[in-house]
Chains A and B, each alone.
Chain A
C-alpha cells in the first residue's frame, strides 16, 4: 500500500513531531513497509477468529483496593523542567 508524504506529515503532526524532508521521506518508506506487512496478514482468512486484545495469554490481573503511601512531593517534582513549591508549571493553556 502506497503511503503519501501528506499521510506521514499528518501522523507526525498528531504525535507533535517536526520532520525534515529527508526524515519524512525515510519514514514514508518505513511506513509503507509496515503497512505492507499488515496487508500481507490480511491475506489470511480470519473469518470467525476473535481479534487478539493482548499478546500474552493472561487475564484479570488485578490489585486490591488498598492504599499504599504516595511519593514524597519533592521526589515527584524533582525532574520537572519547571515547577513551584507544590506543582508542575507548564506554559499557559486554556481550552
Chain B
C-alpha cells in the first residue's frame, strides 16, 4: 500500500482510511423503478434470507456482505435491480437528470451510470451512451435489455472528439478513464499498475473541455474518476476552470446521507481554484465504499 503514502497529508483520517482499505468491499445494488419498487424487491431479499441494509444516499439502494450472491438471484435476470459499486452510484444521483432531458454519458461502458440515469428519467427523454471501445459498450446492451431501458442510444466515439453535429445536451456525465486507485478494495493490484499520467490528464482535460462544448447554457456536467490522484481530479478541474473562467462554474453538491471531504485547493506547492472545494473527495472509510472523486459543474455562458 506504499503507493498510498503520498496521500497521507490529504486524507482526513489516515487510520480509518487504511483500515477501510484492508476490508473487502460490500456488495451493493439499486432497484430498477421501471420494473418494481424497493418494497417488492425487499420481499425477495427476505425470501432469500439475505442480510442487507439500505444505502442512505441512494433511493432503493441496498448493501450486503461482500460475498452475497447478488448477481445470481432470480430478480436479477428479470431486471429488477443492478449490481453496482455504491460510491459509483453517487455520480448519477448527483447529476440527477430529469425526465425528457437529452443526456450525454461520454465514457459510458460498462454502463452502470447510464442505466441509473435512464431509469431516473423514467424511460423518457434520451441518453447517448458513448465509449471509445465497441467491445466494452456491448456489455451495456445486455444491461439495457435486461432492465427494459428503451431510451438509450449507444455509440462508439472518442469522447474528446464528439462534434457539433451531436447537438447540445441538458446534462453531461464525464466519468473519465483514470488510474483507478479507488478500486483497491476490489483489486489491490490496481496500485501496482503503471499509468502514463501525463497522457491520462491531457485526455481527461480534453474530455471535460468537450463536455463544456456539448452542454447547453445552464446544463450541469458531472466530472468523476475512481482515483485518489489530485493530478487527475482537482488539477484537471483547475486547468479547465482557468481556461473557461466566467463560462464554467463549480456547483455545490447535495446528496443527503453521503459523506465526503472537500476537494483540495492546494497540491504539491500549487494553489488551485478556490471553488474546487465544492468537489467531493470520497475516501473508502467515508461510506464504506471504494474511493471516488466527483465534481458538479454548470455551464453559465457559451
The judgment on whether A and B are partners is no
Please give the residue numbers on chain A whose beta carbons come within 8 Å of chain B beta carbons, in ascending order. Answer: none
